[in-house]
């Protein structure tokens, strides 16, 4: 058995863990990085990267084998950046083994005992498989295993209408599969209802069957096909079943009881500073209880914990400016409060302004401005945006601007100074801001009186 003493020990080589390790070692800390699975974690190998590559391939009209080849090529191209070799070159000690705490200051990884001044748990999440009668005895796919398919499913039945389920639904429909999505509540139910409606209508127009408000009660195999029985007795039969019912934190089997780290059924408990109940141990990313399970959140939190880890400085993670996106076509992106949440929180203090994509010149020029093409909607309180919803082409790109706005708590008057090149979809941002000022400038008797007075008085 080997004993190692280090400044920082990072558990998990996904986006968050790699960001901490790279930053810490390049600023002079001794770093041990532990990963029991694939370097790059879920995002690179079975999450964000392959799903976006498949969506691209489907939009280009590739065959299913070519689409899957494109997925693997995309992963292979990015993988060196996340590789063990790169991090060893940076100066990290990389251990490929399962980590388990043995005390509040030590853990074991593959027979190696590591004692560290600080630990960062970044073990991510895994597909959450619901307890449905018969499911355990039926072959099913998750976002981790679907990439092993070599031919297009004849009929893909998807349990779950969240971002993963809807993205996979559209991609496989475009690649030639019949697709049925089953959602016990409302598909994209956590999103702005109006924006979600635009996405759902687009998928249904492409031939995706969407069943909402009916949960799966039982799953069985009938004549070689997977049969899902719904809560109302209806049955849906398909050639393949994809379970996309959410994620669960990878917080078990870490020996947290030995580390004096508190956790719940949904993950590890942390404060705003991302510190656990053990002051030496931090947690970031999907493993946090009640956290926002997005790759970019883990990366952001990595930047937050670097401050106390390396410099002993206080730092807290915020949530109000964190955006997220669903990469269907049209895309749906959100930052801050949805309209429904903002109305509940601010009531009559809330103003909602919007701009339609159908009126954007770039969208018109590129054939993306048809009926129901989407919109941008701003939720404004006392001249400051508290939430932004965008549904339409490149919504995931456009939402980044509004993340900065919310981060800096900018007023609408400051945002009005933004100039977008013409013609771009980004002009929608300016048009939405203009919609806020229109009644204040063009429909105001006071403004018109002032202008008329000035025109008479100024030679």
* CATH architecture group of domain 2-39+83-127+248-311: 3-Layer(bba) Sandwich (3.50)
Taking residues 25-34, what's their average pLDDT? 98
Does 135-245 match 2-39+83-127+248-311 at the fold level? yes
Distance CA 289, CA 267 (A): 4
Spell 332-357 as b/e; 16+ CB within 10 A means b.
bbbbbbbbeebeeebeeebbebbbbb
CB atoms within 10 A of CB 131: 6
* CATH architecture group of domain 323-441: 2-Layer Sandwich (3.30)
Which DSSP helix (H) or strand (E) runs through 343? helix 339-346
Mean pLDDT of all residues in the chain? Answer: 97
Taking residues 225-240, what's their average pLDDT? 98
Distance CA 165, CA 152 (A): 16
Residue set of the binding site:
52, 123-125, 160-167, 183, 246, 286
Two structure tokens written together for 81: 């950046």
Read off the pLDDT of residues 341-384 as tens digits, 9 standing for 90 and up: 999 999 999 999 999 999 999 999 999 998 889 999 999 999 99
Q: Identify the three-state secondary structure at position 230.
A: strand
Q: Is there a cis peptide before residue 330, judged by omega within 30 degrees of 0? A: yes
Distance CA 71, CA 73 (A): 5
Whole-angstrom CA distances from 38 to 19, 34, 44, 98 are 16, 11, 9, 12
pLDDT the model gives residue 432: 97
Two structure tokens written together for 163: 């971002």
pLDDT the model gives residue 443: 80
> Is 42 exposed, middle or buried (CB count within 10 Å of its CB: 0-12, 13-18, 19+)?
buried
Extents of the domains making up the chain: 2-39+83-127+248-311, 135-245, 323-441
Distance CA 430, CA 422 (A): 11
> Is 77 exposed, middle or buried (CB count within 10 Å of its CB: 0-12, 13-18, 19+)?
exposed
Residue 300 predicted with pLDDT over 70: yes
pLDDT the model gives residue 1: 62
CATH fold of 135-245: FAD/NAD(P)-binding domain (3.50.50)
Taking residues 399-418, what's their average pLDDT? 97
In terms of C-beta distances under 8 Å and separation of at least 24 residues, what long-range contacts does 345-350 make, across chains too? 345/386, 346/381, 346/386, 349/381, 349/382, 350/379, 350/380, 350/381, 350/386
Taking residues 292-296, what's their average pLDDT? 96
User: Is-contact 321 399, C-beta < 8 A?
Assistant: no
pLDDT the model gives residue 131: 96
> Is 417 exposed, middle or buried (CB count within 10 Å of its CB: 0-12, 13-18, 19+)?
exposed
Taking the whole predicted model, whether its pTM rises above 0.85 is answered as: yes
Residue set of the binding site for NAD(+):
160-167, 183, 246
Percent of the chain scored above 70 by pLDDT? Answer: 100
Question: 305, 250, 271: which is closest to 127 by C-alpha?
Answer: 250
Taking residues 106-113, what's their average pLDDT? 97
Distance CA 225, CA 241 (A): 9
Percent of the chain scored above 90 by pLDDT? Answer: 94
Q: How many CA atoms lie within 13 A of 388 on its CB side?
A: 30
Residue set of the binding site for FAD:
52, 123-125, 286
Distance CA 299, CA 449 (A): 52
Taking residues 97-116, what's their average pLDDT? 98
Read off the pLDDT of residues 166-222 as tens digits, 9 standing for 90 and up: 999 999 999 999 999 999 999 999 999 999 999 999 999 999 999 999 999 999 999
Taking residues 434-443, what's their average pLDDT? 89
Banded model confidence at residue 268, pLDDT cuts 50, 70, 90: very high
Residue 394 predicted with pLDDT over 80: yes
Whole-angstrom CA distances from 59 to 54, 391, 392, 397, 454 are 9, 18, 15, 18, 56
Which DSSP helix (H) or strand (E) runs through 408? helix 395-408
């Amino acid at each position: 058995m080997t004993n190692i003493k280090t400044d920082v020990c990072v558990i998990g080589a996904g986006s968050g863990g790699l960001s901490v390790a790279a930053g810490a070692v390049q600023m002079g800390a001794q770093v041990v990085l532990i990963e029991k699975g694939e370097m790059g974690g879920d995002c690179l190998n079975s999450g964000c990267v392959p799903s976006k590559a498949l969506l691209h391939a489907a939009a280009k009209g590739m065959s299913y084998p070519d689409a899957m080849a494109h997925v693997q090529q995309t992963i292979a191209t990015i993988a060196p950046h996340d590789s063990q070799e790169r991090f060893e070159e940076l100066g990290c000690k990389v251990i490929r083994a399962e980590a388990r705490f043995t005390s509040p200051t030590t853990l074991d990884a593959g027979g190696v005992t590591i004692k560290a001044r600080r630990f960062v748990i970044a073990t991510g999440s895994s597909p959450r498989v619901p307890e449905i009668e018969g499911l355990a005895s039926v072959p099913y796919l998750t976002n981790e295993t679907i990439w092993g398919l070599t031919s297009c499913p004849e009929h893909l039945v998807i349990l779950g209408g969240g971002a993963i389920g809807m993205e996979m639904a559209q991609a496989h429909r475009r690649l030639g599969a019949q697709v049925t999505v089953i959602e016990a509540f409302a598909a994209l139910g956590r999103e702005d209802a109006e924006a979600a409606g635009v996405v759902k209508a687009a998928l249904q127009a492409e031939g995706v069957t969407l069943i909402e408000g009916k949960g799966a009660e039982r799953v069985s195999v009938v004549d070689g096909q997977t049969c899902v029985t719904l809560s109302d007795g209806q049955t849906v039969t398909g050639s393949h079943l994809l379970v996309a019912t959410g994620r669960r934190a990878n917080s078990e089997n870490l020996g947290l009881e030995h580390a004096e780290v508190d956790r719940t059924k949904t993950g590890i408990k942390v404060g705003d500073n991302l510190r656990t109940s053990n002051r030496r141990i931090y947690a970031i990313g999907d493993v946090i209880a009640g956290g926002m399970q997005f790759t970019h959140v883990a990366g952001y939190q990595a930047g937050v914990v670097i401050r106390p880890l390396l410099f002993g400085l206080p730092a807290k993670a915020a949530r109000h400016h964190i955006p997220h996106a669903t990469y269907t076509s049209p895309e749906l992106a959100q930052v801050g409060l949805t309209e429904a949440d903002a109305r509940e929180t601010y009531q009559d203090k809330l103003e909602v302004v919007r701009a339609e994509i159908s009126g954007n010149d770039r969208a018109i020029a590129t054939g993306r401005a048809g009926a129901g093409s989407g919109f941008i909607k701003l939720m404004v309180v006392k001249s400051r945006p508290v939430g932004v919803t965008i549904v339409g082409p490149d919504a995931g790109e456009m939402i980044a601007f509004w993340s900065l706005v919310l981060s800096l708590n900018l007023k609408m008057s400051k945002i009005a100074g933004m100039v977008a090149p013409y013609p771009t979809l980004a002009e929608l941002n300016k048009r939405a801001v203009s919609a806020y000022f229109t009644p204040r400038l063009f429909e105001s008797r006071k403004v018109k009186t002032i202008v008329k007075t000035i025109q008479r008085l100024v030679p």
